[in-house]
Amino acid sequence: GVLFKGAEVFERSRTIDTVVFDKTGTLTRGAMTLSDVITDEDEARFLYLVASVEAASAHPIGKGVALGAEERGVELGTPDEVAAVAGRGIAGSIDGVDVVVGKAKLMADQGLHISDRYLDALEAVERQGKTGFLAGWDGEVRGTLAVADTVRATSRQTVTTLHSLDTETVMLTGDNRRTADAIATQVGIDTVLAEVLPGDKAEEVARLQATGKTVAFVGDGINDAPALTQADLGMAVGTGTDVAIEAGDIVLMSGDPALAATALRLGRATFRTIKQNLFWAFFYNSAAIPLAAAGLLNPMIAAAAMAFSSVSVVTNSLRLRKFV
């Protein structure tokens, strides 16, 4: 389930001391479900306006909101125009209403007033590990929404395995600090880099490298491609986008994050095996060739020694089967 794109990847894997995970779609399933709607407006109309705008977005959060509204019996409309604000939210117009959906900073930038009720609701859902955001129009925030993403069953074990390899773990996400910390606590991540804009992921990887760390990055999305390229070792999730897969040095053929630890262990073990095999190959030749040149080595013994050399190399290499 692990594809190494080149022989040099094995050598690079032995020096990795930090693994950075993109959260959504890697440590979590990336399938957002609408979990909370807090509003003083008519809920059906509120969801109609918000979900209709979000449905025009390709972001997992937008899809989750749209699906959640439809499951609640809301028939969505078609917005006149929609503009995404990278890493902050989305704005659009439907039925003559200019709707803004996203983070508190986007609300402030758009001049929308946020009441304490909705700020408190936002903080409450974020402390539960959910991704919360606001929605409003006509100068006022009209409600708080939250979507929930499920942590993959193997995420915690993956982090534990990496720690056993003396490897630091980092989670990188665009989520707010409270939500990010809640997810990190669940899986045992060492360091959290929260509220990172999609275009800044590569810069965060470069910043870690500047501190002397040798970094592997695990991601699956289009906006992960620059970070996969920047990292000393890029691990692309095979269930992700073609752009990410093309940018990675290693492809994890399924969405299971445990393959990241497997790839690191297998890469290190393979490089170690290569060195062992080279040692024995040179040992046999360096010992036998001078003896043969001096006429002190029987050809039959030389042939047997060369055969044993080949068998020992192959047998040593077959020990790697324990990883698959």
Chain length of the chain:
324
Q: Which of 271, 270, 297 is nearest to 285 (CA)?
A: 297
138 an active-site residue? no
User: d(Cα 117, Cα 129) in Å, to the nearest integer?
Assistant: 19
The total of other beta-carbon atoms located within 10 Å of residue 280's CB is: 15
Could you tell me the pLDDT band of residue 324, with boundaries at 50, 70 and 90? low
The position carrying tokens 């609300």 is 107
Distances from the Cα of 42 to the Cαs of 10, 74, 124, 296, 305, in angstroms? 58, 12, 22, 98, 85
Pick the range with the lowest mean pLDDT from 48-62, 178-192, 277-291: 277-291
Which residues, at least 6 apart from 110, have a Cβ–Cβ distance to it below 8 Å? 91, 100
Chain Cα centroid distance, residue 39: 33
Better-scored residue on pLDDT, 304 or 155: 155
For 225-238, how does the pLDDT look when each residue is reduced to its tens digit (9 = 90+)? 999 999 999 999 98
Average pLDDT over residues 97-124: 94
Q: Which of 17, 22, 116, 256 is catalytic?
A: 22
pLDDT band at 169 (very low <50, low <70, confident <90, very high): very high
Residue 67: CB atoms within 10 A of its CB come to 18
pTM of the prediction? 0.77
The single-letter code of the amino acid at 19 is V
Q: Considering only CA atoms, which of 164, 192, 150 is closest in space to residue 262?
A: 164
Cα separation, 244 vs 263, in Å, equals 17
